[in-house]
Structure formats: structure tokens, C-alpha cells
């Protein structure tokens, strides 16, 4: 893996990678990798460069273009700082010496550059009457991490949404012991932890039970906003810190709608047939009674605990009775970078259609 072969300093010399923050470069070391090839070998014979940004790190590589022109690129030169093929598509390649090539998902690179550039513009020149950019978004460890932007629906957000998203968040300073949201209250804001830690509690049988502890980069408060319900837990600051807060109407317009990708029952079945997985987020008693074939049970209250067990390369179709609980679960999954889809209307709608 590139994490053991390429340093952030090496990535900094490449373009447009070099425009990213130091924190982003450290993250990228984990998701790019290095190929090598010996003299007189075409390093792209078995795997081309479609969908990837490929850089020559070391050695000499000869490229031949459609018009017959030839070019020898040498690692470490100005030409090698840019992705291969930037002059146009080449029809043949041959290593003149031993070569090392760095490969990186091209779409991911474009998404990262877009997010970081928009954030930089907001920080440098906020519009009249607006507050400056609130945080260095490139170091957020949760919803704006490389993993989320690579796998999740954030990669699908239009640039205008990114710009507005960064404008609408507001920072609030909080102290240890502050109750940010309370169980049973109306949902009003969505939160991302910029610094500090907090605990999530729920009253069960008259006793307050600890459900989870959240850290910088984690988000909370989305469940009540996704389907207009009351808060189902209390969140209390465990330490002093800072939170980024997004108003409900902005959350709905800029995050909920783009992230909630709904599919019909027919489309859902196609995804399952292609290797996807049903996730039933109802209570275990409901799941036991009438689950869909092959579905796994992950109640909404346990969805955060399932993150470490799910595969970000796999597609998941989330369902419940009406679509309300599954909407919250699908949002949580998409926010954390999973390829999650919501069964439109839930089982009620699907069965009503089948019966008609």
C-alpha cells in the first residue's frame, strides 16, 4: 500500500494533489498505491488508467500518442508532477528503466480538490455580512473524511450545495456538562463535533443508560430531523469543546435530500440480486415476524454499532414498515460513507403495490 511507500511530502510535489492540505495528504497515503514495472514492460498491459490519476514517481517511461508523437517522461521532473495522459490519450507505453507509478482514484481526487477549494475560498473571502469559514473542513475525521467522500453520497453533492453547506454551519462553544439536546424535545439542529467529546444517553425504565460516546468529527441529531420526530436521546458534553450547528431547514435542503437515495422495490431487488444486502431496522420482534428473505436485523438504535461490521464496497437497501425509521438509518449510513439506499415507502408501500 502507498501508506508504506509514499510520504506526504512526495504527494505534495504532485499536481493537483499538492494543493490539498497536509491532513488530506496524510489521509490519501492510505487510499493510493504504487505499481512497479521493469524495463521493456508495458505497465498498463493488464490494467489501464481508466478512472485513475496515475503519476510516474521514479524511472523513465516512453509514451506513444495517436498522432505518432513519442515522449519519454522521467520521474522527478516537472512533467512527472502531473498525471500521465494530460497531453492526451496515449496508445502505447513502455518502461525504459525500472519504474514506479502511483495510482489514485480520479473521481476521489476531484471531489477532494472541490471540497477543499470551496472551503479555502470561504475562509479567505466571505461575502459581505457572512461569517468566515468556521473550520478546516479537510481535517474533519467523520462526515468529511476521505472515506466518506470516496464511498458516500457526499461525492454526489453539487458544488453549490458544498458552498452553501460550509456557509450555513455555525460554531458554538460548549462546556463540560452542557446538555446539547434532550430526549423528548423537538428536533431543531444538526451537529458536528469540531473539538471535544460528548456522551449519548437514553432513559430506560427510569434509568439513564449510556448509548455511545462521540468524538471530534462525529455528527449527531440527525434522526429527529430526517423524519420529523422528537429527540430519542440526550447528548451531554463530556468535555469542553466546540460544535458546528446546522439549522433544520438547511439540513433538510442541503444534506437530507441529497443523501437519502430512494429506490423502488423492483430496483431494490435488482441491487440485492447483484450482491447487495437488505437491512431491517425495525425491532427484533418485527423482524422475526415478517422479514424480507436474506435480510439482516440491525435495529435503528443499534445502527451506529454496526458501522465497523459493514462493507463499504457493498450496497445496502434499508427498510422498515413506513420508511421513517429506515430513512434515519439510511442517512446515518450514507453520512458515514456507506452505499445505502432507502426502500421508498417501506414495506407498507411495497405490499400495497403488490396487492393492487
In angstroms, rounded to a whole number, what is the distance separating the alpha carbons of residues 215 and 286? 33
Q: Hey, what long-range contacts does 77-84 have (CB within 8 A, 24 or more apart)?
A: 80/55, 80/56, 81/13, 81/14, 81/15, 81/18, 81/55, 82/14, 82/15, 82/55, 83/53, 83/54, 83/55, 84/49, 84/54, 84/55, 84/56
183 φ, ψ to 5°?
A: -55, 130
Find the catalytic residue in 2, 32, 198, 320. 320
Q: Contacts by 263-267 with C-beta closer than 8 Å and gap 24+?
A: 263/317, 263/341, 263/342, 263/343, 263/344, 264/344, 265/343, 265/344, 265/350, 265/353, 265/354
Q: How far from the centroid of its chain's Cα atoms is residue 344's Cα?
A: 22
Output the CA–CA distances (angstroms, integers) from residue 37 to 55, 60, 75, 83, 95, in the order listed. 13, 11, 14, 17, 7
Q: Is 100 left (phi over 0), alpha (psi -120 to 50) or beta?
A: beta
Quick check: is 2 catalytic? no
Which of 29, 259, 23, 241 has its CA nearest to residue 140? 23
| Whole-Å CA distances, 44 to 26, 40, 49, 72, 280 | 27, 12, 7, 16, 43
156 conformational bin, left if phi > 0, alpha if psi -120 to 50, beta if neither = alpha
Which residues are catalytically annotated?
320
Amino acid at each position: 500500500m502507498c501508506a508504506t511507500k509514499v510520504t506526504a511530502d512526495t504527494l505534495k510535489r504532485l499536481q493537483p494533489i499538492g494543493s490539498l492540505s497536509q491532513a488530506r495528504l496524510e489521509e490519501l497515503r492510505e487510499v493510493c498505491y504504487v505499481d512497479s514495472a521493469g524495463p521493456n514492460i508495458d505497465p498498463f498491459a493488464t490494467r489501464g488508467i481508466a478512472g485513475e490519476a496515475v503519476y510516474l514517481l521514479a524511472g523513465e517511461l516512453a509514451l506513444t500518442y495517436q498522432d505518432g508523437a513519442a515522449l519519454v517522461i522521467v520521474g522527478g521532473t516537472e512533467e512527472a508532477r502531473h498525471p500521465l495522459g494530460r497531453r492526451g490519450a496515449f496508445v502505447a507505453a513502455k518502461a525504459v528503466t525500472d519504474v514506479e507509478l502511483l495510482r489514485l482514484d480520479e473521481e476521489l481526487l476531484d471531489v477532494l480538490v472541490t471540497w477543499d477549494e470551496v472551503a479555502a475560498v470561504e475562509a479567505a473571502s466571505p461575502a459581505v455580512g457572512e461569517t468566515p469559514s468556521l473550520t478546516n473542513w479537510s481535517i474533519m475525521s467523520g462526515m468529511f473524511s476521505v472515506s466518506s467522500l470516496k464511498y458516500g453520497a457526499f461525492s454526489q453533492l453539487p458544488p453549490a450545495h458544498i458552498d452553501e453547506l460550509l456557509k450555513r454551519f455555525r460554531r458554538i462553544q460548549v462546556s463540560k456538562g452542557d446538555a446539547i439536546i434532550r430526549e423528548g424535545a423537538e428536533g431543531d439542529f444538526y451537529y458536528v463535533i469540531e473539538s471535544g467529546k460528548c456522551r449519548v444517553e437514553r432513559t430506560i425504565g427510569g434509568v439513564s443508560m449510556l448509548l455511545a460516546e462521540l468524538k471530534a468529527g462525529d455528527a449527531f441529531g440527525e434522526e429527529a430531523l430526517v423524519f420529523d420526530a422528537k429527540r430519542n436521546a440526550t447528548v451531554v458534553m463530556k468535555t469542553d469543546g466546540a460544535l458546528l450547528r446546522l439549522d433544520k431547514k438547511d439540513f433538510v435542503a442541503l444534506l437530507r435530500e441529497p443523501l437519502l437515495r430512494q429506490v423502488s422495490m423492483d430496483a431494490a431487488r435488482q441491487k440485492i440480486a447483484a450482491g447487495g444486502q437488505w437491512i431491517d431496522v425495525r425491532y427484533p420482534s418485527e423482524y422475526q415476524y415478517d422479514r424480507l428473505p436474506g435480510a439482516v436485523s440491525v435495529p435503528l438504535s443499534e445502527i451506529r454499532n454496526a458501522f465497523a461490521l459493514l462493507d463499504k464496497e457493498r450496497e445496502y437497501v434499508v427498510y422498515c414498515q413506513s420508511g421513517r425509521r429506515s430513512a434515519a438509518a439510511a442517512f446515518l449510513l450514507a453520512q458515514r460513507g456507506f452505499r445505502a439506499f432507502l426502500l421508498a415507502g417501506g414495506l407498507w408501500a411495497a405490499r400495497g403495490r403488490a396487492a393492487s
